[in-house]
Amino acid sequence: MTISDVEAARRIEHPYVEFVNKVQMYYAECDISGTALFNNQARGFKREVTMRDVVLNYIYPNTLAVLKVSGKDLKAALERSATYFELDETGDIIVNPSFMTPKPQMYNYDMYEGIEYTIDVAMPQGERIVEFSYEGKDIIPEDSLEIVINQYRAVGGGDYDMFDASKIIREVTIPMNELMGDYFSQFSPIKAEANRNFKVTASK
């Protein structure tokens, strides 16, 4: 679960990211989860993991919330995340400068587990989610879904105004870094793996 290139880990699902989402899904009893690599200092985990490693990677004392959202809400959240990327003059995918200045906001780009989706950075903002499915079926705006995310995001933090406290149906009040430590204690050894359920591409 070691991260050697943090930006690559945001474009191609990394085992560390999948691990964090799996922990959230387990303790929230939910099968769709979103999380972020909060900054560019995230290094993931080596073969042996200490609580210090957990805290250095998961730097915020976040608790979790499960929300009941519509397919429309979830797609809007993914579109918000997709603004993290843009194309340079040669057509290569780069980080949108608005996520770097006036302050770094890497924590506002979320990656989800439990759904399959594709971000096409060549499309206009708001139209970048070109594949979007759950359990093999396309997600439609009227679908009702349960998702687990951290409390900051659950109440709309980071300009995710499709989420708010009224959609929270239950909470996990133990901080996430403690949950990660508990998960290691309960399930070690843990296999580092990623199912690559999301893609970031540029079609043009």
Using one digit for the tens of pLDDT, what is the confidence trace for 37-53? 999 998 999 999 999 99
| pTM, 2 dp | 0.94
- Residue 153: per-residue pLDDT: 97
CB within 8 A of 23, min separation 6: which ones? 176, 179, 180, 183
Mean pLDDT of the 51-64 span: 92
Determine contact, residues 108/159, Cβ cutoff 8 Å: yes
pLDDT band at 186; cut points 50, 70, 90 = very high
DSSP-assigned letter for residue 28: H
CA distances from 66 to 16, 174, 178 (A): 21, 14, 18
Spatial distance between the Cα atoms of 10 and 65, rounded to a whole number of angstroms: 23
| 3 state SS of 52 | helix
Number of domains in the chain: 1
Phi, psi of 86 (to 5 degrees): -150, 175
Determine contact, residues 74/34, Cβ cutoff 8 Å: no
Q: Is the pLDDT of residue 204 over 80?
A: no
Spatial distance between the Cα atoms of 39 and 116, rounded to a whole number of angstroms: 24
Residue 136 domain flag: yes
Residue 1 domain flag: no
Rounded-to-10 torsion of CA 198, 199, 200, 203? -140
Residue 194 domain flag: yes
CA distances from 53 to 2, 4, 46 (A): 11, 15, 9
Which tens digits make up the pLDDT trace of 65-122?
999 999 999 999 999 999 999 999 999 999 999 999 899 999 999 999 999 999 999 9
Domain span including residue 82: 6-201
- Residue 192: per-residue pLDDT: 94
- Residue 75: per-residue pLDDT: 98
The CATH number of the domain holding residue 113 is: 3.90.780.10
Determine contact, residues 23/176, Cβ cutoff 8 Å: yes
Q: Is the pLDDT of residue 34 over 80?
A: yes
Spatial distance between the Cα atoms of 80 and 108, rounded to a whole number of angstroms: 9
Beta-carbon count within 10 A of 15 CB: 19
